[in-house]
Every structure is written in structure tokens, then in C-alpha cells.
Amino acid sequence: MDRTSIAELTALVARFRDERDWAQFHTLRNLIVSLNLEAAELLELTQWKPDPEIDALAADQSARTALQDECADVLAYLLLIADRAGIDLAAALRAKMAKNALKYPIEASYGSSRKYTDLEP
């Protein structure tokens, strides 16, 4: 299993960007817009397909490659956004999971898809 760090991935994407002099275009707003466009391309892979077909995407090599490419694009933009905004993604995720644990206690949320505001205490 690959143990590449978030910092290493960020450096890889930033190096690619810098070699092409693209940082000038990478305002925080433009990066956020680009992330959403790439997320839409990821979503497009599922458009008009029933759940069983979507679940089978990973088994089809061509579909898996498309899924992999779109996931990589989303990750690349997320890394650039975090870098630009000075966000430590690992720390941000740990903090968010701690908040989520308070909003979704196991006893009230186990096996439920309800939003935290609709959970029984």
C-alpha cells in the first residue's frame, strides 16, 4: 500500500503547476470553481445509471480508469485549495471527524441515514 503523504502529493501537484507557470491562474476562487467542475465530471460518470451499474464501475477497467482520473483531478484541486488557503488537510479532517462524532453519536446514528438534527436523543 502506498503511504504517500498529503505534503508529498501537494508538492507533486504544485511542481506540475509551477513548471507550467499556472500559479498565476490559481486564485482561491478559480481553484474552488475548478474543484466543482471536476466533481461534476465525477458525478457525470453516474448520470442516468441505476445503482447496480454504478456499483460495478470499479470492475470495468475502462470505467475504473475514468473514475480514477476524475478522483485524481478532484484531489489535485483540493490539495491546491488547501495549500493556497494554508489549511492542513490532515488536521482539518481530524477536527471535522471530532465534530461529526459529537453530532452523530453512535447510539443515536447507528444504521441511520437521518441528519443529526433529526436523530432521537
User: Which CATH number fits the domain that encloses residue 78?
Assistant: 1.10.287.1080
Looking at the structure, do residues 25 and 51 belong to the same domain, yes or no? yes
Q: What average pLDDT does the segment 77-100 reach? A: 98
Q: Is 11 helix (H, G, I), strand (E, B) or coil?
A: helix
Whether 66 and 43 have beta carbons less than 8 Å apart is answered as no
Kindly state the DSSP code that residue 111 receives in the 8-state scheme: T
Q: Which amino acid is at 48?
A: W
Q: Give the residue numbers spanning the domain of 10.
A: 1-87
Residue with cell 500559479: 23
* pLDDT one-digit tens code per residue, 12-71: 999 999 999 999 999 999 999 999 999 999 999 999 999 999 999 999 999 999 999 999
Q: What is the pTM of this model?
A: 0.91
Q: Is 104 helix (H, G, I), strand (E, B) or coil?
A: coil
* pLDDT one-digit tens code per residue, 102-114: 999 999 999 999 9
Q: What average pLDDT does the segment 78-92 reach? A: 98
Of residues 96, 118, 98, the one with CA closest to residue 109: 118
Looking at the structure, do residues 72 and 111 belong to the same domain, yes or no? no
The answer, yes or no, to whether residue 121 has pLDDT greater than 90, is: no
Q: How many domains does the chain have?
A: 2
